[in-house]
């Protein structure tokens, strides 16, 4: 056993900075000395394990297991907590997420048994990263809410800094870059105040990612270089690789191809040594994307095919989506249409699965804006109920005592006191009923804002809502053209404000037409006519809504263009056919629709033209005799993954 541990130590020493080798030797001697106090031995092996897990995860896990054995023998709960934390981190770095969650579950139970709220909050924050890597953003947000509440109550600045950073990660995954930048900035300010190098390096890395996505490439480059320098100083191999990955992306966008390839190759070497499958798949995707940028389609196929294989084996949905999209484009460029079709099918399936899981607009709005306020309302109401119950019990007891003591001498006064008590109770009861009704009204309003009214009613009555098949539903997809270019000319606040103008107008239009908003995905908008209740003229009302939406966008563009301001233009696509509709999940409800009809509607949008409403033949057949509309045949138009489809432009007659 001693030889095994010594080999692990020497491996750690080889990959650590030279200045750390002597310290590692010293720690190993303490651990290996049975005469040393158990507390000292546990502390030594903990430091060795924590250092090793970021360099060679398997080594760190092995050392942490030795720490756990001694901690359990000595009933050292803090050491048990720390050993499971190390093993959870190592498992997560290896993309073994179920094992990581199992270790964190033990951490939670241990922290609670110690009454250690700070470590409980830290565990929730760590768990959020695991759920985020698994692609389950709603569950990741739930963990962060718990962590944030505890750290705010404790005034724990270090914990808040980490939680703000993780919330920024969720916003980044959801494509809400202004919100991500806001939370990363909060995290960076707290880490600066704490003078914490590791936190500052992480904040710089995340700020760089956000600025890169917002088009501020030079700023992102400077932040990535600073972050890389700090991580190299700390000897953090995993984070060095992440910084190199992002440097590669930045150099690529700056047209510095040789530097981009060198950075990405270096990152892939590091991640391969660490056996971090998620990061390996991402590096391979970035290399494939760089190959496509240079016109090297066959090299892109090699990189992205390897990345896709890793992502499949590790169950990495986001990386599967990225690599399959890369393959789809690369196979198309070499005219391998069969493989291009298969790659596209996987890309769409994984993308639909991720969209259904996360529903970014609803998750962001409900989780980050409403949850804390609703919980405060519930806590306030609970406190009011408790206070009322205590007061009522006290009044009842006081009334009994007075009645027994003064039943003969003060009967008249007793009656008055009883009347006053009853009046007070009635007032308390009335106020409580009002508070309860207000709470119910808020809950109903929130539920109706998430779900169609019929579905919300079924959910309240049965506790669940069943998925249903609809034979004829008309689906509308819209998407802004040149969104990235326009957004680069607007500040984050201006971008959010401008999008809000459009989406509020779209919401009003579809409500007026009596069709159902399904969701927004980034700058895309999806609605459907004929669900959850069919109604008359669902297809016609959906087309009317689309034409009204285009009219609003054109008017908005004319208005802003006259002022020299950037504005959006839009494509809209519509298709009619069968779908299945229902609620996704059991906790964070989302009404959604599935079926090939959805995919074809999406293709109608992407195959359309700016300023038009493009409809399928199925939609055209239902409305061709409708005097409100005029149709322009487009003939057979190629649609990705669907072959050639007949399409029509529709406008007001």
What the block records as the tokens of 394 is: 């006290």
For residues 240-260, give the mean pLDDT.
Answer: 93
Q: What angle do CA 64, 69, 75 make, to 5 degrees?
A: 115
- Rounded Cα distance between 302 and 440, Å, is 57
For residues 589 and 578, give the distance between their C-alpha atoms in angstroms, rounded to a whole number. 22
- Judge whether 575 and 597 are in contact, CB under 8 Å: yes
CA-to-CA distance for 574 and 578, rounded, in angstroms?
Answer: 13
Comparing C-alpha atoms, which of 582, 512, 501 is closest to residue 541? 512
Looking at residue 364, the DSSP 8-state letter turns out to be I
Among 383-387, 481-485, 525-529, whose mean pLDDT is lowest?
A: 383-387
CA distances from 550 to 161, 212, 477, 547, 609 (A): 43, 31, 12, 5, 12
Q: How confident is the model at residue 486 (pLDDT cuts 50, 70, 90)?
A: confident
Token representation of residue 214:
């917002």
Nearest to 442 by CA among 358, 366, 520: 366
**Strand, helix or coil for residue 527:** strand
| pLDDT at 369 (0 to 100) | 41
For residue 155, the SS3 value is coil
The C-alpha R_g of the chain, in whole angstroms, comes to 30
CA 546 to chain CA centroid, Å, is 29
Alpha carbons 338 and 651: distance in angstroms, whole number = 36
Over residues 316-332, mean pLDDT: 90
Q: Which of 4-18, 55-69, 276-290, 468-482 has the lowest mean pLDDT?
A: 4-18
SS3 content of the chain, % helix, strand, coil (to 5): 75, 10, 15
State yes or no: pLDDT of 493 exceeds 90: no
The answer to whether 100 touches 71, Cβ cutoff 8 Å, is no
Find the mean pLDDT for residues 54-61: 85
Residues 6+ apart with CB under 8 A from 534: 470, 472
Residues 525-561 have pLDDT tens digits of: 999 999 887 667 899 999 999 999 999 999 999 999 8
- Which pLDDT score, from 0 to 100, does residue 347 have? 87
What are the structure tokens assigned to 577, written together?
């056919």
Instruction: Read off the pLDDT of each residue in 232-237 and give the average, rounded to a whole number.
Output: 88
User: How far, in Å, CA of 40 to CA of 515, rounded?
Assistant: 67
Select the more confidently predicted residue: 469 or 71: 71
169 pLDDT band, cuts 50/70/90, is confident
Taking residues 629-643, what's their average pLDDT? 90
| Least reliable range by pLDDT among 118-122, 124-128, 364-368 | 364-368
Report the DSSP beta bridge partners of residue 476: 527, 574
Q: By the 8 A CB rule, do 12 and 59 touch?
A: yes
Dump pLDDT digits (tens) for 182-202.
Answer: 888 888 888 888 888 888 898
Cα gap 224→226, rounded to integer Å: 5
Q: Return the pLDDT at 433.
A: 54
Supply the pLDDT for residue 1.
42
Torsion angle, CA of 446/449/453/458, rounded to 10 degrees?
-50
| pLDDT value, residue 417 | 47
- CA-to-CA distance for 602 and 598, rounded, in angstroms? 6
According to the model, what pLDDT value does residue 236 have?
Answer: 86
Q: What's residue 21's pLDDT?
A: 56
State the Cα–Cα distance between residues 9 and 3, nearest whole angstrom.
10
Closest CA to 221 of 257, 188, 247: 247
Residue 270 has pLDDT above 80, yes or no: yes
Averaged confidence pLDDT in the chain: 81
* DSSP state letter for 449: H
158 close to 194: Cβ distance less than 8 angstroms: yes
Residue 527 pairs in a beta bridge with 476, 517
SS3 label, residue 196: coil
Angle of CA points 60, 62, 68, to nearest 5°: 100
The pLDDT of 597-613, averaged and rounded, is: 93
Only one residue has tokens 């519930």, namely 378
Q: What is the 3-state secondary structure (H, E, C) of 582-615?
A: EEECCCCCEEEEECHHHHHHHHHHHCCCCCCEEE
384 token code pair: 């009011």
Please check the confidence at residue 328 and state whether its pLDDT lies above 70.
yes
Cα–Cα distance for residue pair 273/143, rounded to 1 Å:
31
Question: How many CB atoms lie under 10 A from the CB of residue 369?
Answer: 10
In tens, the pLDDT along 136-159 reads 877 888 888 888 889 888 888 888
Q: Which whole number is the average pLDDT over 46-61?
A: 87
Is the pLDDT at 455 greater than 50? The verdict is yes
Burial 119-131 (b: 16+ CB within 10 A, else e): bbbbbbbbbbbbb
Label the pairing between strands 643-652 and 629-639: antiparallel
pLDDT digits (tens, 9 = 90+) for 393-409: 555 565 555 555 554 44
Q: How many other CB atoms sit within 10 Å of the CB of residue 590? A: 22
Beta bridge partners of 475: 528, 575
The DSSP string of 381-392 is HHHHHHHHHHHH
pLDDT at residue 271 is higher than 80: yes
Q: Measuring CA to CA, which residue among 478, 592, 499 is closest to residue 179?
A: 499
**Contact call for residues 90 and 102 (beta carbons, < 8 A):** no
Continuous segment of H or E residues that includes residue 279: helix 277-294
Tokens describing residue 472: 């004829």
Most confident range, picked from 16-20, 278-282, 346-350:
278-282
556-602 pLDDT tens trace? 999 998 998 899 999 999 999 998 887 765 555 667 888 889 989 99
Q: Predicted confidence band at 234 (pLDDT cuts at 50, 70, 90)?
A: confident
**Tens of pLDDT, residues 496-526:** 888 889 999 999 999 899 899 988 887 889 9
Q: Scanning the structure block, which residue is given the tokens 């399936």?
A: 349
Residue of 10 and 184 predicted with greater confidence:
184
The pLDDT assigned to 144 comes to: 87
CA distance 133 to 128: 9
Q: For strand 524-529 and strand 569-584, is the pairing parallel, antiparallel, or unpaired?
A: unpaired
- Residue 489 dihedral angles phi and psi, to the nearest 5°: -95, 0
Q: State how far the Cα of 59 lies from the Cα of 45, in Å rounded to an integer.
A: 12
For 595: left if phi > 0, alpha if psi spans -120 to 50, otherwise beta; the answer is: left
The b/e string for 20-36 (b: 16+ C-beta within 10 A; e otherwise) is beeebeebbebbbeeee
Vertex 35, ends 30 and 39: CA angle to 5°?
A: 60
pLDDT score of 162: 86
pLDDT at res. 418: 42
């Amino acid at each position: 056993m001693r030889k095994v541990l010594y080999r692990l130590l020497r491996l750690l020493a080889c990959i650590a900075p030279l200045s750390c080798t002597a310290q590692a030797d010293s720690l190993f001697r303490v651990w290996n000395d049975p005469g040393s106090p158990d507390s000292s031995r546990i502390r030594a092996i903990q430091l060795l394990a924590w250092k090793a897990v970021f360099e060679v995860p398997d080594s760190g896990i092995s050392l942490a297991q030795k720490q756990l054995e001694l901690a359990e023998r000595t009933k050292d709960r803090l050491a048990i907590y720390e050993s499971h934390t190390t093993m959870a981190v190592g498992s997560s770095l290896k993309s073994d997420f179920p094992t990581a969650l199992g270790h964190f579950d033990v951490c939670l139970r241990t922290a609670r048994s110690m009454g250690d709220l700070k470590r409980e909050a830290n565990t929730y924050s760590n768990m959020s990263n695991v759920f985020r890597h698994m692609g389950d953003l709603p569950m990741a947000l739930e963990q962060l809410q718990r962590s944030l509440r505890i750290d705010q109550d404790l005034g724990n600045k270090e914990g808040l800094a980490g939680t703000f950073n993780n919330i920024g990660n969720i916003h980044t995954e959801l494509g809400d870059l202004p919100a991500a930048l806001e939370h990363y900035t909060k995290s960076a300010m707290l880490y600066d105040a704490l003078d914490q190098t590791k936190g500052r390096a992480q904040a710089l890395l995340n700020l760089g990612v956000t600025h890169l996505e917002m088009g501020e490439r030079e700023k992102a480059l400077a932040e990535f270089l600073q972050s890389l320098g700090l991580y190299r100083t700390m000897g953090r191999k995993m984070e060095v690789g992440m910084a190199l990955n992002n440097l590669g992306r930045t150099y690529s966008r700056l047209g510095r191809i040789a530097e981009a390839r060198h950075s990405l190759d270096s990152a892939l070497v590091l991640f391969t040594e660490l056996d971090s499958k998620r990061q390996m798949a991402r590096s391979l995707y970035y290399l494939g994307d760089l190959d496509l940028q240079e016109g090297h389609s066959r090299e892109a196929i090699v990189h992205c095919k390897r990345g896709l294989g890793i992502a499949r084996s590790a169950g990495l949905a986001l990386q599967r989506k990225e690599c399959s999209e890369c393959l789809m484009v690369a196979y198309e460029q070499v005219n391998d249409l069969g493989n291009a079709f298969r790659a596209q099918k996987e890309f769409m399936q994984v993308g639909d699965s991720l969209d259904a899981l996360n529903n970014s607009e609803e998750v962001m709005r409900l989780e980050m804006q409403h949850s804390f306020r609703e919980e405060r309302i519930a806590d306030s109401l609970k406190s009011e109920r408790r206070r009322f119950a205590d007061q009522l019990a006290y009044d009842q007891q006081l009334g009994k005592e007075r009645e027994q003591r003064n039943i003969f001498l003060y009967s008249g006064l007793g009656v008055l006191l009883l009347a006053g008590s009853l009046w007070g109770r009635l007032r308390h009861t009335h106020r409580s009923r009002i508070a309860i009704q207000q709470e119910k009204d808020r809950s109903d309003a929130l539920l109706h804002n998430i779900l169609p009214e019929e579905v919300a009613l079924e959910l309240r009555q049965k506790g669940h809502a069943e998925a249903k098949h609809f034979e004829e539903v008309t689906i509308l997809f819209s998407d802004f053209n040149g969104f990235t270019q326009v957004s680069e000319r607007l500040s984050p606040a201006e971008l959010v404000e401008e999008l809000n103008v459009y989406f509020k107008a779209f919401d009003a239009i579809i409500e007026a037409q009596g069709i159902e908003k399904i969701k927004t995905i980034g700058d895309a908008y999806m609605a459907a006519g004929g669900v959850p209740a069919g109604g008359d003229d669902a297809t016609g009302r959906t087309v009317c809504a689309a034409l009204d939406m285009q009219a609003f966008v054109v008017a908005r563009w004319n208005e802003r263009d006259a002022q020299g301001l950037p504005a959006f233009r839009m494509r809209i696509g519509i298709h009619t056919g069968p779908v299945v509709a229902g609620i996704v999940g059991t906790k964070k409800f989302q009404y959604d629709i599935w079926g090939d009809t959805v995919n074809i509607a999406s293709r109608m949008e992407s195959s359309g033209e700016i300023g038009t409403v493009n409809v399928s033949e199925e939609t055209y057949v239902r409305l061709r005799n409708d005097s409100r509309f005029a149709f322009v045949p487009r003939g057979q138009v190629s649609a990705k993954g669907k072959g050639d489809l007949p399409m029509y432009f529709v406008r007001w007659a």
